[in-house]
Amino acid sequence: MFYDIFSNLCQKRGIKPSRAAEECGINKSNVSNWKNNGYIPRGEALGKLATYFGVSVDYLLGNEQKEKAPSQNEKKPEDITFDDFSYALLDETKELTKENKDKLLEMAKFFKQQQDKENHNSQD
């Protein structure tokens, strides 16, 4: 049941299941296990897929009948745009290990916090 739902969501988005997995940071080989062996992703992988498709984990698992409606603040995939920097960052980070991606994310969060502090101090 999971793979059917996953496959349907991929089809609606016009992408292959292996690409969706890859874009979520999930090994493409898992897709064949989902399809051929009926495996269901767990924990973090399931959460990444739900976020990627804008659905609940329960929907992915077949426990809900409808996809969740996006909140007003939540962007749909077709609404997301990338600037040149985002494209460059995406390209440069594709082949990084998960550990290095996590480090890069922590660095980005640090810079964002520093910027927020600077903005807050300049407003005082």
Tens-digit pLDDT profile for residues 21-58: 999 999 888 999 999 988 998 888 888 898 898 888 88
CATH code for the structural domain at 2-70 = 1.10.260.40
Is the pTM for the entire model greater than 0.95? no
Q: Is the pLDDT of residue 94 over 80?
A: no
What residues does each domain of the chain span? 2-70, 84-123
In whole numbers, what is the pLDDT of the chain averaged over residues?
81
**pLDDT value, residue 6:** 93
Which residue, 29, 97, 19, 87, is CA-closest to 53?
Answer: 19
DSSP assignment letter at 65 = S
Mean of pLDDT values over 92-102 = 84
The residue that leads in pLDDT, 66 or 113, is 113
| pLDDT value of position 1 | 83
**Averaged pLDDT for residues 60-82:** 59
The pair of structure tokens assigned to 2 is 């999971």
- Of all residues in the chain, the percent with pLDDT exceeding 90 is 26
111 or 124, which is more confident?
111
Alpha helices for 24-124 (secondary structure H): 29-37, 43-53, 57-60, 84-93, 98-123
